[in-house]
Structure 1
Amino acid sequence: MAFVSFTFYIFLAVVVLAYYLVPCRWRWTTLLVGSLGFYLYLSDGSLAKLGILVGSALICWFLALLQRQTPGLKRLWLGVALAASALPLLLLKEAPFFLSRGGQTLPQWLAAPVGFSFYTLQLIAYTVDVYRAQTDPQKNYFKFLLFVSFFPQIIQGPIPRYNQLAPQLLEGHRFEERTFVRGFLLILWGFFLKLCIADKAAVVVNTVFDQYPTYQGAYVLVAGILYSFQLYADFLSCTSFAQGTAELVGIHLSDNFHRPYLATSVQDFWRRWHISLSSWLKDYIYIPLGGNRKGTLRKFGNLLVTFAVSGIWHGAGYKFLFWGLLHGFYQIAGALLAPVRRTLGRFLQLPSHPLVHRACQRLMTFILVMLAWIIFRADSLSIGLSMIRSLVTVPNLWILTNDALFTLGLVWKEWGILLFCLGVLLAASLWQERGIVIRDKILEAPLVVRWAFYIGTILFVMVFGTYGFGFDAQAFIYGGF
């Protein structure tokens, strides 16, 4: 039951209707029942996987209470809670990779449950916040279970903090037309991103990456650029679906992206990309290690450890670890080479106009991030490095000017639609960067204009969206992490 399936919106309509029919003080129970039912459906009816979710939440809830009731042993209870949460995640993440090295596979019944990576981070953050006295432990287990299992964000985030989300879940919200429509607009935006950009770009991306080394050189460049936008549009669409769905019942989830491809450095990129994960890594890995408080060398070491954890969280295998460490290296190199760049810029008399300077920074940041995405998407680290090497060793730029790109799965009309939709995404990003809230502008328009926009967007997505086999949209990329 993905966000783009008809079944999901039947389920959503039932949950929203039930939510507003139940008395305010009990509305959280409809969300709990709906969330557990949704999770059971996603798990193909597996009571065992639902049991892992319920049991993990029960352990962390109980140990958090023990921290408050037995303060002298709270460090012990924290350690037990962290071990109970982190070790199963590490085992299920890494076991398939190591078993595959010996020609074996992980039994199907040991496959990681849906959303396991995301709700595990929620549990860890909650128990640490209780230990730090930043959060009061929830005394009602079922209310805590709702925080862990809330259906819009359990699949792919955003990864919420207890103090930010729980009060909203437990407060019975009254129906507000403006909030409801704002949620609808986010869902509409999610459909546009998913079907008109992510799934359309995926056709070309899959062709090149799945048939390497047939396609090398400039083919890899095109696929790397498109994968960068595919991943962004796919993940942003899922966040938009989650936020829009939650807003239908008056709940606001935090933003997970702030126009990351407008970043002027890799460090800035990570302030804008997957913000809930980035802030989690900062608060629960980087700062506890010492952050930047213990000298430059220690700071660089902490950065590498933090990004190594990020790589391991994303998946098993050398390529994910390398990808994480590469982003740590980017930031270290950026800090060390900053004086060199300034001196070189003055020596070469490079343009110093702020707009030109910012554009150059954004272009260089995008290139560095894109190269890392190639490794992230490749079947293995060695293949990823080989694909990057082909960018400079296989001179075939002429494919950009002949009809070669039209043999990668998209005809010229579909390429035109994809480029147009990327232009819409860029324009929206630039407006948002200037502080313009597009949803508010739409809601301020006359009624006829608003409905023309709604109907026009729906028809555009239905006509020009790209669908998977059997007219079923492709699975969300981050659902695999």
Structure 2
Amino acid sequence: MSYTSLEYFAFLLLLIIVYYILPKRFRWMSLLAGSLFFYWQIMTDKRQIFILLFSLTVTYFCGLILQKLKKSSNIIKKRLILFTGIGFSTLPLLAEKAGSLLLGNKGIPENISILIPVGLSFYSLQLIAYLVDIYKGTITVQVNPLKFTLFATFFPQIIQGPIPRYGQLKSELFEGHDFKQENLMKGIQLVIWGFFLKFMIADKASIVVNTVFDNFPAYRGTYIWVAAILYSLQLYTDFLSCTTISQGVSKMLGINLTDNFNRPYFSTSVKDFWRRWHMSLSLWLRDYIYIPLGGNKFGLGRKWLNLLVTFGVSGLWHGDSLKYIFWGLLHSVYQICGEMYFRVAKKHKPELVTKEPTAITTHVRRIRTFFLVMIAWVVFRAASFKTSLKMIRSMFSDFNPWILGDDSIFNLGLGWKEFAVLILALLLLLVISTKQEAGVKIRDWFAKQNIAVRWITYLLAIWSIWIFGSYGFGFNAQDFIYGGF
């Protein structure tokens, strides 16, 4: 049962009806039942439920103990409970990452890898944050084990996030919400937009991306440039589509999930990019890795070391091979180099960093940032670290731009009609994103239009996605990319 399947939305319709029929104080129970049912359906091996329950049980009881020790002056004892809880609750994740790194190309045996629960990387970070926040006293423990289970398994976000904090989500989940037509319609809008991003952009771009990346060195030079640009856009729209659908589904139930993206390709630096990309993960890394390591409190050298460690952890979280670790470290190196440049410029040419940037300067910075991020994405997507270096070298050493004008580009899996649809969809995304970046609230503006305009737009959007989207051209919907991390 995927987030784009008819079965999922049939399940959702039934859950919404049950949720609003029940008395308010019992509505969270329907969310729990629905979340457990959904998780049961997506498990590839039903034994995965025992690994999930193990992590939840350890975290639940360690949270209770930490709460009881709240007023204790025995710091060692509290830290022992905290690290024990984190260690055991995330043991499946640590074992999976360490096993893959140690085994290298052999990989984890299939009979073991099939036991790795879906959404493991996401709910593990939730559990770590839950225990740390109890230890720090920023939240109070959830004594009801069923409500705690709902927090950890809430179905719209368990596969791909966003990664919520308990303090953010508890009132949203446990306090029953009144039915509001406004919430239902806003939820439908978000789901339609998520489908547009998925079927009109991400799944189309993936055809070209897979053709080039999976068949290197048959494709070189400009082919790799095209695939690298499209992969950057595919990854963004695929991930954004899933979180947008999750927000839409939650909104239908009156529940608000935090935004996970803020137009990251409008960033003017790599540091700015990480303020806008996968924001729930970025904030998690800041609060639970970077700051505990000391942040920027102990001098520049220590700050940069903490940055390297933080992004190394980010790379390892994304994948269990050298290329992912290098990808994470590369982003930290980008930021260190950016800060070094800023310091030198501030000292010798302060006008470069103090004056208001012009429109041209802003666009140049955005293009530069996109280029740096795109190069890192090549490392992220390539079959191996070694292959990624060869592909990047080919981007600059093999010169064949004529493929853009001799129809060669249409031999990568998409014909000219499909390419035209993809480009038009990207242009629409660009226009809407530009308006949003300028402060225009598209959904608020849309809500002010009369009902005929709104429903005609809904129907045209659904029709366009159905006809011109991936299904329209006979492609199967690709799995959401971040569901594999």
Fold-level similarity (TM above 0.5): yes
Alpha-carbon separation, structure 1, partners of 2:349 and 2:224: 30
Is residue 460 of structure 1 aligned with residue 459 of structure 2? no
Q: 2:350 and 2:87 mapped to 1: Cα distance?
A: 53
Q: Does 1:91 align with 2:95?
A: yes
Looking at structure 1, the residues matched to 108 and 46 of structure 2 have their Cα atoms a distance apart, in angstroms, of 26
Calculate the TM-score normalised by the size of structure 2: 0.95
1:18 maps to what in 2? 18
Alpha-carbon displacement from aligned partner over 1:6-57 (angstroms, at most 9, x marks no partner): 110111111111100111100000000000000000004x442122222311
Report how far residue 87 of structure 1 moved: 3.1
How far apart, CA to CA, are the structure 1 residues paired with 2:311 and 2:292? Answer: 14
Q: Note if 1:239 corresponds to 2:243.
A: yes
CA distance in 2, matches of 1:280, 1:468: 39
Separation in 2 of the partners of 1:344 and 1:261? Answer: 30
Select the residue among 412, 416, 426 that pairs with 2:420.
416
> In 2, Cα distance between the equivalents of 1:255 and 1:373?
22
CA contact (8 A) 1:201 1:230 kept: yes
Size of the aligned set, in residue pairs, is 478
- 1:233-274 residue CA offsets vs partner (Å, 9 max, x unmatched): 000000001100000100000000000000000000000000
Counterpart Cα distance in 2 of 1:103 and 1:76: 33
Letter in 1 for 2:274: W
Shift in CA distance, 464/345, structure 1 to aligned 2, threshold 3 Å: farther
| Pairs within 5 Å for 1:145-184 | 145-184=149-188
Residue 9 (structure 2) aligns with:
9
Matched, 1:269 2:273: yes
| 1:42 counterpart letter in structure 2 | I
Q: Which residue of 2 aligns with 1:374?
A: 378
| CA distance 1:347–1:37, shift in 2 (3 Å) | closer
CA RMSD of the aligned region, Å?
A: 2.0
Offset at residue 86 of structure 1 (A): 3.0
Can you list the C-alpha shifts for 1:51-86, whole angstroms capped at 9, x where unaligned? Answer: 222231121111111012133332111011111123
Q: Which moved more, 1:159-168 or 1:89-98?
A: 89-98
CA contact (8 A) 2:211 2:413 kept: yes
Does residue 1:35 correspond to 2:39, yes or no? no
2:276 & 2:406 partners in 1: Cα distance? 36
Shift of residue 134 of structure 1? 0.4
Contact 1:374 1:388 in 2 (8 A): yes
Q: Deviations over 1:191-234 (max 9, x none)?
A: 00000000000010001001100101111101000000000000
Amino acid at match of 1:234: D
The verdict on how the C-alpha distance between 1:327 and 1:468 changes in structure 2, with shifts beyond 3 A counting, is farther
One-letter amino acid matched to 1:191:
F
Structure 1: 5+ residue stretches without partners: none
Deviation at 1:439, TM superposition (A): 1.5
After TM superposition, the structure 1 = structure 2 runs for residues 194-205 of structure 1, keeping only pairs within 5 Å, are 194-205=198-209
Closer/same/farther in 2, CA of residues 185 and 302 from structure 1, 3 Å limit? same
Matching of residue 51 in structure 1 with residue 50 in structure 2: yes
User: Can you list the C-alpha shifts for 1:309-347, whole angstroms capped at 9, x where unaligned?
Assistant: 000000111000000000000000011122556799999
Q: Pick one of 282, 294, 297 that aligns with 1:293.
A: 297
Q: Give the deviation of 1:441 after TM superposition.
A: 1.5
Q: 1:188 to 1:407 in 2, by over 3 A?
A: same
Residue 291 of structure 2 aligns to a residue whose secondary structure is: helix
Q: Which amino acid letter does the alignment assign opposite residue 290 of structure 1?
A: G
Judged with a 3 Å threshold, the aligned counterparts in structure 2 of structure 1 residues 107 and 441 are, in CA distance, closer, same or farther, namely: same
Per mean C-alpha deviation after superposition, the further-off stretch among 146-155 and 338-347 is 338-347
CA distance in 2 between counterparts of 1:347 and 1:443 reads 44
In structure 1, give the amino acid aligned to 2:223.
Y
Instruction: Note if 1:229 corresponds to 2:233.
Output: yes
**CA separation in 1, counterparts of 2:473 and 2:368?**
37
Q: Distance in 1 between matches of 2:185 and 2:43?
A: 30
Which stretch shows the higher mean deviation, 431-440 or 327-336? 431-440
Identical aligned residues as a percent: 50
In structure 2, relative to structure 1, the CA distance for the partners of 1:40 and 1:470 (3 Å cut) is: farther
Structure 1 range deviating more: 453-462 or 409-418: 409-418
Q: Which residue of 2 aligns with 1:338?
A: 342
Contact 1:96 1:105 in 2 (8 A): no
Structure 2 residue 277 is the aligned partner of structure 1 residue 278: no
Deviations 1:352-380 (Å, cap 9, x if unpaired)? Answer: 86101100000000000000000100000
What is the aligned partner in structure 2 of residue 122 from structure 1? 126
Secondary structure of the residue aligned to 1:107 is: helix
The question of 1:213 aligning with 2:213 is answered no
Tell me the secondary structure at the aligned position of residue 292 of structure 2: helix
Q: What is the identity, as a one-letter code, of the residue corresponding to 2:313?
A: V
2:466/2:472 contact within 8 Å kept:
no
Going from structure 1 to structure 2, the CA distance change for 1:320 and 1:64 (only over 3 Å counts) comes to same
Where does residue 189 of structure 2 map in the other structure?
185
Give 1:111 shift: 3.7
